[in-house]
A and B are shown apart, each in its own frame.
Chain A
Amino acid sequence: MAAISLLNPKAEFARAAQALSVNITASKGIQDVMKTNLGPKGTLKMLVSGAGDIKITKDGNVLLHEMQIQHPTASLIARASTAQDDITGDGTTSTVLLIGELLKQAELYIAEGLHPRIITEGYDQARLQALKILDDMKRPVEINRKNLQDIARTALRTKLNNQLADLLTDVCVDAILTIKKDDDKSVDLHMVEIMEMQHKSATDTQLVKGIVMDHGSRHPDMPKRLENAYILTCNVSMEYEKTEVNSGFFYKTAEEREHFVLAERDFIIQRVQKVIELKKKLCDGTNKSFVVINQKGIDPNSLDLLAKEGIMALRRAKRRNMERLALACGGLALNSFDDIKEEHLGFAGVVYEHVLGETKYTFVEDCKVPQSVTILMKGPNKHTLHQIKDAVRDGLRAINNTLDDKCLIPGAGSFEIHANLKLRDHARTVKGKTRLAIQAYADALLVIPKTLAVNSGFDSQDTIVKLQEEAELSTDPIGLDLSTGEPCKPVDLGIFDNYIVKKQILNSCTVIATNLLLVDEIMRAGMSSLKG
């Protein structure tokens, strides 16, 4: 989409010296597109494809993947950002900015004759040092609603307007608190289903403490709403299928074949009868009802039989929902009905159907101890839904990262300001030209607070100076207040970033910048070792 095609992809074969400047130019190119994204005051990008498809995003990684990146350097940076996203779910814009800045800083020194090797060695030392500084700065957090809200809110407010961000913050935090175990370990995010419904407005997005499925019963006479429902979750075919072995050779006579067919049919009917028997035993004469949710098919014949008994039956449920249903309603996902019993069943207070256009939705709610929940996103159009989905994912990841890390890093540029000061101190203890590289690294980190300042309409140099002065005097982390341009204490304002995000940024940016500086070695782009 944007102009990353500045450079001819054949540049891969350019000579080393040229290649370096090519790399730097390319990385500046992406940096320019991405830098306006950073922070809660960044610009929202609206991408319009040649056919008029609209996509709205503020997310670095999403944007990178929408752009047509042909240049190998650019695509290497894009991969770093993807890796960042895979591992942590956040910090992708920062990644692109920092790689670009590390290269820019290096360029100055290389122009003055410093060998790229020395720079890369210095960068690596600086990285280790920066990781230590990061460790010193982390703030252990108790896992409670407020702390989780802080991190989720910070993340979401960089993607959505405050009102919606705050609403989704509560949705995300509630989702995770509902399914989290007492040991405060991170949760399996697959157990938080994100379901979209294209109607109403984004602020109607809500948490459903149960399961929502995007399909419904396939029989006109089945009930549309049931209360006090036993839930039978299963992966058992109720569909009469002819198997491939039924070829002509197999049977001596046509009658024999017909006979076999009938027997097969009968077999399916018996299966259905088993379910019906259990339903009769448990529900008849009580106020209880019965729902079947099957991963396999249910053919019209079987649906008929079930409908006659007032059973609601859904077929072809998502594989993942088998596990989720058992977690939400209790019971077991069954693979056979051989000795099906009451204890295999789950239970839900209410199960009902909701029809929207072509799609039926089935809600399974009022579960006793739901260990799996659904975030039901709403929005008037596809691009809004997309935008919310990306944001909700970010919010959930940020909370989950916190459960993993049990600590947070103060945000608003405070880490970068602090690390810059500390690294400069450290550089003074280093002998030789490596010192220059460490200084360069320290300066590169400032790209984050600088860009935050510029995106909020403040002068970057003024701001940095103010922040540095304040930081030298204060024992607390000092960040940037984006509404005033003045120093602030992010901890007091509840602005936090994930530890793992910052850590991964330091690691991957250094690796990629180093690779790009040592151009010979990226001729065949050694992109394998980005993760970890």
Chain B
Amino acid sequence: MSARETILAGIMANQPLSQDLPIIDVSAVIQYDSNLSQFKTVLESIGGKAIDISGWFELQNMVQDDLAAGKRVVNAIAEIASIDPALASLEATELATVQRAYLKGGIAVAENGSIWLDETAMVNRLLPFIAEHLVIVIEAKNIVATMHHAYQQVSSFDTGFGMFLAGPSKTADIEQSLVIGAHGARSLLVCIIP
């Protein structure tokens, strides 16, 4: 018997009688007076920063400032500038020096300050991890209360990769002292469009 058959046969012989799945009643979970303010509060508590912006032009200005300061920035937001067609296939060695990446997030979650980014939004899977700093724009109307609400909208995984990103990378592996900027981004700025 192959390993697969052995394992599956062992499981078949040993699994208990089937028990139904529970019904997840989303109306029974926490609600916030304002998803927007809850999102901001939590994001700050996990090391991120939130600002309100009035339109895409503000992001264009930020990119211009970065470029003027000689920074290597990568833009993955079609609304502010065209996206470099080569970005999707850049390798780690080519992305290693990216100082700031601009990305557009999807659903955001008030209870934990996270933002859903799928592969379309990242353009290159490595980009949101390897960039030294991240700027992510979200729309206020896309902030939902909890993860249950979020999965009602992101349950399809057609793009091959996606993630909830919550704040900058961090570690507390040395004596439980929190250090921001472990292997991923050192900072996360979330720009919220009304």
Q: Do A and B interact with each other, yes or no?
A: no
- Residues of chain A having any CB pair with chain B under 8 Å: none
- Residues of chain B having any CB pair with chain A under 8 Å: none
